[in-house]
Structure 1
Amino acid sequence: MPDQISSPAPRSATDLFSDPLDSHPLWFKPSLFLSPNFDSESYITELRTFVPFDTLRSELQAHLSSLNHELIDLINRDYADFVNLSTKLVDVDSAVLRMRAPLLELRDKIQGFRGAVEGSLLALKDGLSQRAEATAAREVLELLLDTFHVVSKVEKLIKELPSVASDWSNGDVNPVQKKNASGLQHVENGTTNLRETQSMLLERIASEMNRLNFYIAHAQNLPFIQNMEKRIRSASLLLDASLGHCFVDGLEHWDANAIYNCLRAYAAVDSTSNAEEIFRTTIVAPLIQKVIPHGSSGGLVSGASGDELENDYQQIKKYVENDCKLLLEISSAENSGLHVFDFLANSILKEVLAAIQKGKPGAFSPGRPKEFLKNYKSSLDFLAYLEGYCPSRAAVAKFRAEPVYVEFMKQWKVGVYFSLRFQEIAGALDSALTASSLVLVQNYQSDENSQNLTLKQSVTLLESLRSCWSEEVLVLSCSDKFLRLSLQLLSRYSNWLSSGLAARKKGSAGANPGCEWALSAAPDDFVYIIHDINCLAKEISGAYLDHVLQVLSSCSTEVLDLVKQSILYCGKSLDDLLPLVINTIMEALVQKSVEDLRQLKGITATYRMTNKPLPVRHSPYVAGVLRPLKTFLDGERATTYLTNAARNDLLLGAATEITGRYYELAADLVSVARKTESSLQRIRQGAQRRAGASSDVSDHNVSDTDKICMQLFLDIQEYGRNLATLGVDAANITAYRSLWQCVAPADRQSVINF
Structure 2
Amino acid sequence: MEAAMNLPRGPENLCFDKDEFMKADFDVDHFVSDCRKRVQLEELREDLELYYKLLKTAMVELINKDYADFVNLSTNLVGMDKALNQLSVPLGQLREEVMSLKSCVSEGIQAVDDRMTKQEDIRRKKMCVLRLIHVIQSVEKIEKILHSQGTKELSSLEGNSPLITGQVLERIATEFNQLQFHAVQSKGTPLLDKVRPRIAGITAMLQQSLEGLLLEGLQTSNVDIIRHCLRTYATIDKTRDAEALVGQVLVKPYVDEVMVEQYVQSHPNGLQAMYNRLLEFVPHHCRLLREVTGGAISSEKADIVPGYDFLVNSVWPEIVRGLEEKLPSLFNPGNPDVFHEKYTASMDFVRKFERQCGSQASVKRLRAHPSYHSFNNKWNLPVYFQIRFREIAGALEEALTDTLEEAPAHRLWKLSLQILARYSVFISEVPDILDMIKPKLEMIGFKNISCIAGALEDSKTSLSACVPTLNNRIIQDLSESSFAYLKSALEVPRLYRRTNKEVPTKASPYVDSALKPFFRLQNDYRDILKQPMIHQWLEGALSESTQKYYETVSDVLSSVKKMEESLKRLKQARRTATSNPVGTNGGMSDDNKIRLQLALDVEYFGEQVIFEVHFVTVM
Instruction: Say whether the fold is shared (TM-score over 0.5).
Output: yes
Q: What runs of 5+ residues in structure 1 fail to find an aligned partner?
A: 1-19, 39-134, 163-193, 295-299, 429-439, 454-534, 733-754
Q: Identify the residue that residue 199 of structure 1 maps to in structure 2.
A: 162
Tell me whether 1:588 sits opposite 2:477 in the alignment: yes
1:641 Cα deviation from its structure 2 partner: 2.8
Contact residue 507 and residue 601 of structure 2 kept, 8 A: yes
**Partner secondary structure for residue 322 of structure 2:** helix
Residue identity in the other structure for 1:675: K
Distance across 2 between alignment mates of 1:582 and 1:144: 89
Q: Map 1:360-375; keep pairs closer than 5 Å.
A: 360=327
Q: Distance in 2 between matches of 1:677 and 1:306?
A: 103
Counterpart position of 1:710? 596
**Residues 119-143 of structure 1, C-alpha deviation per residue, up to 9 Å, x if partnerless?**
xxxxxxxxxxxxxxxx999999987
Residue of structure 1 equivalent to 2:286: 324
Q: Could you tell me how far 1:609 is from its partner in structure 2?
A: 2.5
| Counterpart residue number, 1:355 | 322
* Counterpart-to-counterpart distance in 1, 2:416 and 2:346: 36
The answer to which structure, 1 or 2, has the higher relative contact order (CA under 8 A, 6+ apart) is: 2
Structure of higher CA gyration radius: 1
Please point out which of 727, 733, 753 is paired with 2:612. 727
> 2:264, 2:274 within 8 Å by CA — same for their partners in 1?
no
1:202–1:265 contact (8 Å) kept in structure 2: no
Q: Write the letter of the residue equivalent to 1:667.
A: S
1:181 is aligned to none
Partner of 1:516: none
Match of 2:217 among 247, 250, 255: 247
**Distance in 1 between residues matched to 2:289 and 2:266, nearest whole Å:** 30
The Cα shift of 1:604 comes to: 0.9
Contact 1:307–1:362 (Cα < 8 Å) also in 2 = no
Give the C-alpha shift of residue 290 in structure 1. 5.1
CA distance in 1, matches of 2:605, 2:204: 116
2:561 to 646, 660, 674: 674
1:343 counterpart letter in structure 2? F
Q: CA RMSD in A?
A: 5.8
- Paired residue for 1:656, among 526, 538, 543? 543
Q: Distance in 2 between matches of 1:373 and 1:303?
A: 15
8 A contact 1:444–1:452 mirrored in 2: no
Q: 1:685 to 1:694 in 2, by over 3 A?
A: same
Q: 2:40 maps to what in 1?
A: none
Residues 682/345 of structure 1: CA separation in 2 closer, same or farther (3 Å cut): same
Structure 2 CA distance for aligned equivalents of residues 620 and 137 of structure 1: 117
1:93-113, Cα deviation, whole Å (9 max, x unpaired)? xxxxxxxxxxxxxxxxxxxxx
| 1:389 maps to 2:358 | yes
Counterpart of 2:326 in structure 1: which amino acid?
Answer: G
Partner of 1:473: none
Distance in 1 (CA, whole Å) between partners of 2:86 and 2:437 is 95
Offset, 1:679: 1.8
For 1:415 and 1:590, the matched residues in 2 are separated by 58
Contact 1:292 1:312 in 2 (8 A): yes
Alpha-carbon separation, structure 1, partners of 2:557 and 2:311:
96
- Given that residues 280 and 348 in structure 1 are in contact (C-alpha distance below 8 angstroms), is that contact kept between their aligned partners in structure 2? yes
CA-CA distance at 1:385 after TM superposition? 2.7
Q: Deviations over 1:6-53 (max 9, x none)?
A: xxxxxxxxxxxxxx9xx9796896415633548xxxxxxxxxxxxxxx
Note closer, same or farther for the CA distance 1:222–1:384 as it changes in structure 2 (3 Å cut): closer
> 2:196 & 2:559 partners in 1: Cα distance?
124
Query: SS at 1:610's partner residue?
Result: coil
**Residue in 2 that maps onto 1:34:** 89
| Unaligned runs of at least 5 residues, structure 2 | 1-74, 94-129, 184-189, 393-414
1:276 paired with 2:234, answer no
Per-residue deviation, residues 334-361 of structure 1 (Å, max 9, x unmatched): 2325224332233112212212322345
Residue 416 of structure 1 and its aligned partner are, at CA, apart by 10
Report the counterpart of residue 752 of structure 1 in structure 2.
Answer: none
1:202–1:262 Cα contact (<8 Å) kept: no
Amino acid at match of 2:513: G
Separation in structure 1 between the aligned mates of residue 168 and residue 209 of structure 2, nearest angstrom:
8
Q: Give the TM-score taking structure 2 as reference length.
A: 0.56
The answer to whether the aligner puts 1:151 opposite 2:146 as a matched pair is: yes
Relative to structure 1, the CA distance from residue 578 to residue 419 in structure 2 (aligned partners, 3 Å threshold; closer, same or farther) is farther
The structure-2 alpha-carbon separation of the partners of 1:373 and 1:588, relative to structure 1 and needing over 3 Å to count, comes to farther
Number of aligned residue pairs: 461
CA distance in 2, matches of 1:227, 1:689: 140
Contact 2:213 2:225 in 1 (8 A): no
Match for residue 396 of structure 2?
A: none
Using the TM superposition, give the Cα deviation of residue 606 of structure 1 relative to its aligned residue in structure 2, in angstroms: 1.9
- 2:71 corresponds in structure 1 to none
Displacement of 1:246: 1.7
Q: 1:276·1:346 contact (CA, 8 Å) conserved in 2?
A: yes
Report matched runs for 1:140-289 at 5 Å.
Answer: 146=141, 149-160=144-155, 198-207=161-170, 209-210=172-173, 213=176, 239=209, 242-243=212-213, 245-250=215-220, 254-257=221-224, 259-260=226-227, 263=230, 272-273=239-240, 275-289=242-256
Residue 373 of structure 2 is aligned to residue 409 of structure 1: yes
Say whether 1:605 aligns with 2:528.
no
Question: Does the CA contact (< 8 Å) of 2:511 and 2:605 recur in 1?
Answer: yes
- The residue identity in structure 2 corresponding to 1:150 is I
Amino acid at match of 2:601: D
- The offset of 1:303, in angstroms, is 3.1
CA–CA separation in structure 2 for the residues paired with 1:683 and 1:597: 33
Q: Is the 8 A contact 2:279 2:353 kept in 1?
A: no
Query: Aligned equivalents of 1:320 and 1:202: distance in 2?
Result: 28
1:155 deviates by: 0.7
Structure-1 separation of matches of 2:131 and 2:510: 125
Rounded Cα–Cα distance in structure 1 between residues aligned with 2:131 and 2:531: 103
Q: Taking structure 1 as reference, are residues 646 and 709 closer, same or farther at Cα in structure 2, changes over 3 Å only?
A: same
Please show how residues 557-636 of structure 1 align to structure 2 within 5 Å: 571=460, 574-575=463-464, 577-635=466-524
Which stretch of structure 1 is more off in the superposition, 581-590 or 214-223?
Answer: 214-223
What is the CA–CA distance in structure 1 between the aligned matches of 2:581 and 2:421, rounded to whole Å? 80
Q: Is the 8 A contact 1:155 1:235 kept in 2?
A: no
TM-score w.r.t. length of structure 1: 0.47
